[in-house]
Chains A and B, each alone.
Chain A
Amino acid sequence: MRPVAVTGLGVVSPLGNDAGTFFAALVAGRSGVRRIALRFPERMVTRIAAPVDFDAPSHFPAPRLRMLDRVSQLALVAARQALEQSRGALDGLDPGRAGAFVGTGMGGAQTTDDGYYTLYGERSDRVKPFSVLMAMNNAPAAWIGMDHGLQGPNLTYSTACSSSTVAIGEAARRVAAGEVDVMIAGGAEAPLTFGTLKAWEALKTLAAEDPRDPAASCKPFAADRSGLVLGEGAAMLVLEDLARARARNATILARLVGYGLATDASHVTRPSVDGQARAMRLALEDAGLDVDAIGYINAHGTGTPANDPVETAAIRQVFGARAGATPVSSTKSMHAHLLGAAGALELVAAILAAREGVLPPTMNLAVPDPECDLDYVPNVARRVEGLAAVMSNSFAFGGTNAVLVACRD
């Protein structure tokens, strides 16, 4: 198997629209969570989310924009950034040796919402002519392929909250196996529509708004956590055969060394310690690394009552005596839960933590929970020396647990 390099990162997030701005905001402990207004604001119980500040017309001409759901807009901009940072990953490459794998949980949710509003709300049959093309789940990956002429594999993974972690892991395997030389891989999600928010509300998993500070509503690993906050955005990585990246003198931002995939096969929402632990172990095995080598874990850390103690127990099971000494943080406390895009965004955070030697904190962790007893880097970023390998966890409704391990070159 060939080693896989990360040579580009692209981010469109609630904390800024490039990877550097995003990571600086994490280190500063800034939150992208705020009150938002959607259709029928008076009917929204949950009024907080983490939107992206995004000027779509500055990125796309109007006729193109009318074909793109917001999820594809975010995906395309993140992919362009990642390719730009790679400085020529596609130059001189047979287009059949490059592809795009994208994870998304809800696809073109805004288009679906708008279409149903037209049909059922306005009782009109004037559904937009491109609704199918905009709403289809593979639209973000397909448009990335068209934007850059990638004629190799183009796949969309939808495993709820682990979608983009799976997309990146699967893409890395294609590069490692020698089937392709370059992949754009990541995730995109744009779920901030009235219909989607109402559906999440109904599941009783969303965080209550913090009465003093709405931006502090997501409290992973804290005793007063009350749920997740929905966010939107996209994160894309350029994955490349390491030897090729070296030969063209590319900056190697990280090497992607481990991918673990394990399914709970037990309950649709209730997470399993064993399932999560197996995914982490498989990723470590794939990387050929011992737990000692992992200097930071970017947790799934949703801030739901169910996830956080289970993830803590899973980390304890895998890391054993090292668990307490391994820093773990949930950056969802700041960028919220990007669902299908979460894993990609959090892998970017973990890679930049390794590069910069700074661990982003878990914010809003004031009241400790006895069941969550790891080092969560509470409330303040931490500078560390010699950070080599990092892990990023993504666990999903449906039970598909995916874990990635990256290390500095």
Chain B
Amino acid sequence: MNTFERLRALLARDFDLAPEALQPEATLENLEIDSLRMIEILFCVEDEFKIVVPAEHAELKERLHTLGDLAAYIDGLVQALPKAPA
């Protein structure tokens, strides 16, 4: 599964969101993901992807408008992780 698919699975499983509505172009606003819900989603994302979301919330609000934005943001954080020794 790629990052978006993992994110979609997480949102469908834990946040009662209909999988068919979870498309890359779907906006957070249309999905009724408000700032409070976003805090919880990011907490779960940290667990799922073993990352730490460093950005301040205000900054995220500027950057993240759609699920695709969120998946790309997660991807960036995952790729910045130090590579596990082979």
Contact = CB atoms under 8 A, between A and B. Distances in A.
Partners in one complex: yes
B12 to A, nearest CB: 11
A63 B39 contact: no
A225 B69 CA distance: 64
A29 to B, nearest CB: 43
B49 interface: no
A62 B47 CA distance: 18
Nearest to A61: B16
A62 B14 contact: yes
B16 A62 contact: yes
Contacts of B43: 126, 128-129
A130 interface: yes
A248 interface: no
A163 B54 CA distance: 42
A132 B54 CA distance: 21
Q: Number of contact residues on A: which range applies?
A: under 10
Interface in A205-231: none
A128 B16 CA distance: 19
A63 B15 CA distance: 5
- Overall SS of chain B's interface: helix
A129 B39 contact: yes
B25 interface: no
Interface string A54-94: 00000001110010000000000000000000000000000
B40 interface: yes
Contacts of B15: 62-63
B40 A129 contact: yes
Contacts of A128: 43
Contact of B14 (A63, A126, A129, A130): A63
Nearest to B13: A62
Contacts of A129: 39-40, 43
A61 B32 CA distance: 15
Contacts of B37: 63
A-B pairs, top 4 by smallest CB distance, nearest first, are A129-B43, A129-B39, A129-B40, A63-B15
Interface of B: 14-16, 37, 39-40, 43, 47
Interface of A: 61-63, 66, 126, 128-130
Given A63-B15, A63-B40, 9 more contacts: A61-B16, A62-B16, A63-B16, A66-B40, A126-B43, A129-B39, A129-B40, A129-B43, A130-B40
